Homo-oligomer: A and B are copies of this chain.
Amino acid sequence: MPEPIIFYDIPGKDVSLKSWSPNTWKTRYCLNFKGLPYKTVWVEYPDIEAVMRKVGVLPVETKEDGSPLYTLPAIYDPNTQTALAESAAIARYLDKTYPDTPRLIPEETDALHAAFNKAFLTTFSPHLRKLTIPVVANHLPPRSEVYFRKTREAAWGVAHLDEIAPPGPKRDEAWADVKKGLGTIVEWLEADGTDKLFFTGKDKIVYADITVAAYLVWTRITLDQSYWTDLISWHGGRWGRFMAAFEKYEAVDEGEEVKV
Q: Are B111 and A108 in contact (CB under 8 A)?
A: no
Contacts of A194 in B (CB 8 A): 110
Min C-beta distance of A121 to chain B, whole Å: 9
Contacts of A122 in B (CB 8 A): 118, 122
Contacts of A184 in B (CB 8 A): 118
Cα–Cα, bound, A200→B109 (Å): 6
Q: Are B112 and A200 in contact (CB under 8 A)?
A: yes
Oligomer copy total: 2
Stretch binding the partner chain, chosen from A71-79, A150-158, A185-193, A249-257: A185-193
Q: Are B112 and A187 in contact (CB under 8 A)?
A: no
> A109-B108, A111-B208, A112-B109 given as contacts; is B118 within 8 A of A88 (CB)?
no
Q: Interface extent on A, as a size class?
A: 20 to 34
Min C-beta distance of A22 to chain B, whole Å: 18
Q: Are B200 and A114 in contact (CB under 8 A)?
A: no
Contacts of A110 in B (CB 8 A): 191-192, 194
Min C-beta distance of A25 to chain B, whole Å: 20
Cα–Cα, bound, A196→B88 (Å): 19
Contacts of A105 in B (CB 8 A): 192
Min C-beta distance of A118 to chain B, whole Å: 4
Does A106 belong to the interface (CB within 8 Å)? yes
Q: Are A114 and B191 in contact (CB under 8 A)?
A: yes
Q: Are A188 and B115 in contact (CB under 8 A)?
A: yes
Contacts of A120 in B (CB 8 A): 115
For window 93-109 of A, CB contacts with B under 8 Å fall at 96, 105-109
Q: Are B116 and A112 in contact (CB under 8 A)?
A: yes
Does A148 belong to the interface (CB within 8 Å)? no
Contacts of A201 in B (CB 8 A): 107-108
Does A149 belong to the interface (CB within 8 Å)? no
Say which residue of B88, B96, B119, B192 sits within 8 Å of A191 (CB atoms). Answer: B88
> A108-B109, A112-B116 given as contacts; is B191 within 8 A of A92 (CB)?
yes
The interface bits of chain A over 138-169 (1 if a CB of B lies within 8 angstroms of the residue's CB, else 0) are: 00000000000000000000000000000000
Could you list 18 A-B pairs, sorted by A, with CB under 8 Å? A92-B192, A92-B193, A105-B192, A109-B109, A110-B191, A111-B188, A111-B192, A111-B199, A111-B200, A111-B208, A112-B188, A112-B200, A112-B208, A113-B191, A114-B187, A115-B116, A115-B188, A116-B116
Q: List residues of chain A with CB under 8 Å of any chain B CB.
A: 88, 92, 96, 105-116, 118-120, 122, 184, 187-189, 191-194, 196, 199-201, 208
Which 6 A-B pairs rank lowest in CB-CB distance, beginning with the nearest?
A114-B188, A112-B112, A119-B119, A114-B191, A115-B116, A118-B119
